[in-house]
Structure 1
């Protein structure tokens, strides 16, 4: 019973920690969106996206409103969005998206994570041939005919549509569209009355690095350190599953 209790306690702590990280990242997204396009989501697609993503992770409404209000204050500094690229151990490509108010701190931290993992931090653009930027949208499919929906969305930049399971095992429809088609696809889904659970610009690998279990464990240590950093918004890699 003691072990079971400790296990449940640890899982609960991990969920809280993950939720805290998600809230921090979305809070930064909101600040950046408001600074770019103003505090009104109906006129600001990036802010509308950030609010949708906040709902998807159950971020309290008052925290969302507080972030918008804070970002609307001219004295609130904006965040610089910086991408770092490099190779982890065993030649696995790793791309790190950050939003920071101190680039010196961020680059020092990211470089140290790579160095301590026997990796190397590269130059911007060095991984362009490995990762492709895509617009990704997730929503509950419900009774929708996805084959019919696929045909309807081709003119809005649709590249593929498929179904995956979320953390609770529920079905989520996933749409990939061209990077430049984000706004067009978002508008098309909204006009069809589809409630978007998550919308983001992601990077998907075009090629993969094969590793064994021991090497994969080394890579995961680097990825975990990056994910835990407060300045990091997203981490992508091309390690084969």
Structure 2
């Protein structure tokens, strides 16, 4: 069901794409800069940077922006020391939620995250309280169109190291081991495929359905996280309805 939830997220973000594009690029730039700071500016030697650049390209981030973020991470354009923090908690109806942040002010970010949980019927938990409900996997999403042949795509994905491919109404979800993500991504990119999303993500192993009232609270909480520049990613096990 991971693809079902992911397609819902992609569809929701597309609906407000223009409004959030600048904010998304800011978050992606931050992730690239931190990856460079941690492992250097050569993507061939820095797997974290390769993954961050792949995600940026899947979000149609211009190459100039990517290059600028790499230079900022290497100190050429000045730098900010961001701290990585992972929050775990429960959304409305007991939905498991993981929030990944990069911030230069952890007190501000912690307050914002707690507020988003509290305001929408959830609660911030302790480290490890929900992470056992997720697996770290490479996840590549490709939308269906007339040019995409399902059998050819599956053969290429599996041959290049993917674990599985799931075909759904909206498109195809390709799952990889985190270490195999880069090889699969490159093989698909070189074959000319376009990505709706491409990242190493935390994928739920179990799912939670919500009544309509809690669905609205959950979506509002996710929107609050989206609107926060410190929040990089939010993973959850809400089984969204179409």
1:29 to 19, 28, 31: 31
Q: Are the aligned partners of 1:35 and 1:78 in contact in 2 as well (CA < 8 Å)?
A: no
2:159 to 123, 148, 152: 152
User: Over residues 195-224 of structure 1, what are the superposed CA-to-partner deviations in whole Å (9 max), with x where a residue is unaligned?
Assistant: 574431212222222221122112111111
Residue 184 of structure 1 corresponds to which residue in structure 2? 180
Gaps of 5+ in 1: 1-10
Residue 9 of structure 2 corresponds to which residue in structure 1? none
CA–CA separation in structure 1 for the residues paired with 2:64 and 2:44: 19
CA-based RMSD: 2.8
CA–CA separation in structure 1 for the residues paired with 2:232 and 2:29: 11
Residue 104 of structure 2 corresponds to which residue in structure 1? 101
CA–CA separation in structure 2 for the residues paired with 1:175 and 1:58: 19
Number of residue pairs matched by the alignment:
220
1:217–1:177: structure 2 CA closer, same or farther, 3 Å change rule?
A: same
CA–CA separation in structure 1 for the residues paired with 2:118 and 2:44: 44
CA–CA separation in structure 1 for the residues paired with 2:18 and 2:123: 32
1:164–1:53: structure 2 CA closer, same or farther, 3 Å change rule?
A: farther
Residue 88 of structure 2 corresponds to which residue in structure 1? 85
1:83 Cα offset (Å): 1.1
User: Over residues 69-118 of structure 1, what are the superposed CA-to-partner deviations in whole Å (9 max), with x where a residue is unaligned?
Assistant: 11111751332221111112222222111111111111111011112223
> Normalising to structure 2: TM-score of the pair?
0.78
Please identify the structure whose Cα radius of gyration is greater.
1
Q: Report 1 or 2 for greater relative contact order, CA contacts < 8 Å, sequence distance ≥ 6.
A: 2
CA–CA separation in structure 2 for the residues paired with 1:151 and 1:222: 36
Q: Are the aligned partners of 1:226 and 1:235 in contact in 2 as well (CA < 8 Å)?
A: yes
Q: Are the aligned partners of 1:31 and 1:78 in contact in 2 as well (CA < 8 Å)?
A: no
Residue 206 of structure 2 corresponds to which residue in structure 1? 207
Residue 5 of structure 2 corresponds to which residue in structure 1? none
3-state secondary structure, aligned to 2:16: helix
Alignment of 1:46-85 (within 5 A): 46-73=48-75, 76-85=79-88
CA–CA separation in structure 1 for the residues paired with 2:164 and 2:14: 35
CA–CA separation in structure 2 for the residues paired with 1:150 and 1:64: 26
